[in-house]
Amino acid sequence: MTAAAARSADKPIRVGVLGAEGRMGSEVCRAVDAAEDTALVAAVSENDPLSTLSDAGVEVVVDFTHPDSVMDNIRFCVDQGIHCVVGTSGFTAERLATVRSWLEPRPELGVLVAPNFAIGAVLSMRFAELAARYYESVEIIELHHPRKADAPSGTAARTAELVAEARAAAKLGPVPDATTHETDGARGADLDGVRVHSVRLSGLIAHQEVLFGTEGETLTIRHDSLDRKSFMPGVLLAVRSVPNRPGLTVGLESFLEL
Ligand SMILES: NC(=O)C1=CN([C@@H]2O[C@H](COP(=O)(O)OP(=O)(O)OC[C@H]3O[C@@H](n4cnc5c(N)ncnc54)[C@H](OP(=O)(O)O)[C@@H]3O)[C@@H](O)[C@H]2O)C=CC1
Ligand SMILES: O=C(O)C1=N[C@H](C(=O)O)C[C@H](O)C1
């Protein structure tokens, strides 16, 4: 029987962190160590074997690594019967479908893939989804530290997807834009018809603005993570919740009943 299957409610949850030396992973190690109901039993860095997780009897793994390695990590955990909380970015619909297929023969296991664990970021995505049908124009600006590997951010990609779905449901046409002469990149990336602009700037952590406009008014929804501690309450909530949420969940909002 795997450690995850044998879990007893009155013992701390045995947590393993992948990417333990990274900016997020090191913060997660501190948060898991500090919480009374979780125990850090494996802190795994890039050169450590994944078997460190099963050897340590990990019940829930938290992954903050790299888009290039996250799929192999999830595959290993699912095969070993370990629940997963995944913060690493780079998830496409195809990747999510692959994770879902891995989970089919393991109906007792939970995997959460969350583009953003900060409560304000989760709320701002929901607010953007609500506002989308009332405005003819929308653009997203995401701003991050310059050591980020991926652009646009996972949060911006998810926000654009939610906004695009809401616009389609409201039968809104394309966002008005008369641009015919463009220097490459000047209008940002086109994600489902929503323009996304990525800023990389020293001094920043993680920030996003969703700009809406219609005749005579604009609405700006902005969120700022000023410290990576902002992600920790969401990560801990996910660690506590995922063993009771079998299957694949996308987005922390399901665990917040939003
Ligand atoms: N969902 C959310 O709320 C958030 C998500 N993120 C996402 O999390 C990811 C990590 O971000 P961040 O912490 O800033 O990045 P870092 O580069 O600081 O950390 C990633 C760490 O993972 C290590 N690593 C890479 N591959 C593996 C592997 N196969 N096994 C174990 N460790 C590995 C890296 O090692 P090395 O440096 O030696 O390569 C590095 O130490 C990104 O995708 C980012 O977008 C970030 C913040 C919040
Ligand atoms: O790399 C980061 O830092 C972050 N990555 C996530 C993303 O790509 O959306 C979440 C947050 O924006 C911080």
| Residue that the structure tokens 């050897």 belong to | 55
Give per-residue pLDDT as tens, 166-198: 999 999 999 999 999 999 999 999 999 999 999
Q: Which residues pair with 191 in a beta bridge?
A: 194
Query: What integer pLDDT is reported at residue 30 of this predicted model?
Result: 98
> Per the residue annotation, which of 83, 144, 197, 223 is the catalytic one?
144
Phi, then psi, of 135 in degrees rounded to 5 = -125, 135
Closest by Cα among 145, 106, 129 to 228: 145
* Distance between CA atoms of residues 207 and 2, nearest Å: 39
Query: What integer pLDDT is reported at residue 8 of this predicted model?
Result: 66
Answer yes or no: are the C-beta atoms of 248 and 103 closer than 8 Å: yes
Answer yes or no: are the C-beta atoms of 249 and 117 closer than 8 Å: no
Is 23 a known ligand-binding residue?
yes
Residue with the smallest CA separation from ligand 2 atom 4 is 206
CA separation, residue 245 to residues 17, 57, 84 (Å):
20, 20, 11
Is 173 a known ligand-binding residue?
no
Which amino acid, 31?
A: A
CA atoms within 13 A on the CB side of 111: 30
Topology of domain 119-226 in CATH is Dihydrodipicolinate Reductase; domain 2 (3.30.360)
Answer yes or no: are the C-beta atoms of 138 and 210 closer than 8 Å: yes
The CATH number, out of the four listed (3.10.400.10, 3.40.630.30, 3.40.50.720, 3.90.1150.10), of the domain defined by the range 13-113+229-255: 3.40.50.720
Closest by Cα among 43, 88, 98 to 66: 88
* Distance between CA atoms of residues 213 and 195, nearest Å: 13
Give per-residue pLDDT as tens, 149-165: 999 999 999 999 999 99
Report strand pairing: 83-86 vs 60-63.
parallel
Active site residue 148: yes
Enumerate the domain spans of the chain. 13-113+229-255, 119-226
Give per-residue pLDDT as tens, 195-246: 999 999 999 999 999 999 999 999 999 999 999 999 999 999 999 999 999 9
Answer yes or no: are the C-beta atoms of 142 and 156 closer than 8 Å: yes
CA dihedral 64→65→71→73, nearest 10 degrees, is -80
Spatial strand order of the sheet with 194-200 comes to 189-191, 194-200, 137-144, 206-214, 217-225
Query: What integer pLDDT is reported at residue 61 of this predicted model?
Result: 98
pLDDT of 87 over the 80 cut: yes
> Of all atoms in ligand 1, which is nearest to the CA of residue 154?
45
Task: Please determine, for the modelled complex, whether the ipTM score is greater than 0.95.
Answer: yes
CA dihedral 248→252→255→258, nearest 10 degrees, is -120
Closest by Cα among 15, 25, 5 to 240: 15
Query: What integer pLDDT is reported at residue 10 of this predicted model?
Result: 79
CA atoms within 13 A on the CB side of 240: 16
Ligand 1 centroid, distance to 126 Cα (angstroms): 26
Query: What integer pLDDT is reported at residue 258 of this predicted model?
Result: 85
Q: Does the Cβ of 251 fall within 6 Å of ligand 1?
A: no
Which amino acid, 96?
A: L
Is 27 a known ligand-binding residue?
no
Q: Helices (DSSP H) in 38-174: which residue ranges?
A: 51-55, 70-80, 93-103, 119-131, 154-169
